[in-house]
Structure 1
Amino acid sequence: MASSLRNLQSKAGQASQFVAKHGTAYYKQLLEQNKQYIQEPATVEKCNLLSKQLLYTRLASIPGRREAFSKEVDYVKQLWKNKQDLKVEDASIAALFGLECFAWFCAGEIIGRGFTFTGYYV
């Protein structure tokens, strides 16, 4: 246990050294590549305008999202009606999706408890 902790500390130290060495260059490169998205001048008024645009754009996209969701639900209903024609690939994709939903639920529960594992004694 102690050796794995030292190993983890060593790797964390190496990662922080790498970030300290290359972080500034990466930051400048990232800004240069995405300069078309940078709003000049960056004023409070402009930031408020952009946040309102984002909010109302997202609100305007809700009907389209709802329509796409209803199409997906209709597709699943159709699959359920014809479950005898269900292929192994479709069943495995559905099982993986269910497993992923369960994993996200478990992760959310752990995060909600403050990253504590209840019922386990370590």
Structure 2
Amino acid sequence: MASKLIQLKSKATQASQFVAKHGTAYYKELLEKNKHYVQQPPTIEKCSELSNQLFYTRLASIPVRYEAFWKELDYVKHLWKNRKELKVEDAGIAALFGLEVFCWFCAGEIVGRGFTFTGYYV
């Protein structure tokens, strides 16, 4: 066990040295590639304005998303009404979707308990 700890410490040291050596260059390159997204001048007022724009843009998109939700719900109701004509492929897709939702729920529960499977902290 101690040898694994020493290996882990060695890898962490190597990673931190790599970041210290190449981190600044990566940061500058990243900013250079994405400079068209940077607002000039980069002030607190500009950040506040952009934050408000994002908030109110999202707020304005609620009616469109609300409408899309009801269209999806109507589609599901139509499928349920005509379930005798349902194809095996559609049922398979629905089953896979349900399984995926269940798995995300289980993963969320595990994360919420601090990555323990029993729920008790040791």
- Report how far residue 29 of structure 1 moved: 3.5
Larger gyration radius, structure 1 or structure 2: 2
2:87 maps to what in 1? 87
**Change in 2 beyond 3 A, CA 1:45/1:119:** closer
With 105-114 and 59-68 compared, the bigger mean Cα shift is at 105-114
Q: CA deviation at 1:30?
A: 3.0
Report deviation, 1:41: 1.6
Structure 1 unaligned blocks of 5 or more: none
The residue type paired with residue 60 of structure 2 is A
Kept in 1, the 8 Å contact 2:110–2:116? The answer is yes
Aligned Cα root-mean-square deviation (Å): 2.9
Cα offset, 1:73, TM superposition: 0.7
Identity rate of aligned residues, in percent? 77
Distance, in Å, in 2 between the alignment partners of 1:96 and 1:65 is 24
Deviations 1:43-101 (A, max 9, x none): 11111111111111111101100111111111111111111111111111111111111
Q: Which runs of 5+ in 2 are unaligned?
A: none
Could you state the TM-score of these two structures normalised by the residue count of structure 1? 0.75
Tell me the number of residue pairs that the alignment of Structure 1 and Structure 2 aligns.
122
Q: 1:45/1:94 Cα in 2 relative to 1: closer, same or farther (>3 Å)?
A: same
Larger displacement relative to structure 2 (36-45 or 111-120): 111-120
Instruction: Give a deviation string over 1:4-30, Cα, whole Å, max 9, x none.
Output: 888877877776666566554443333
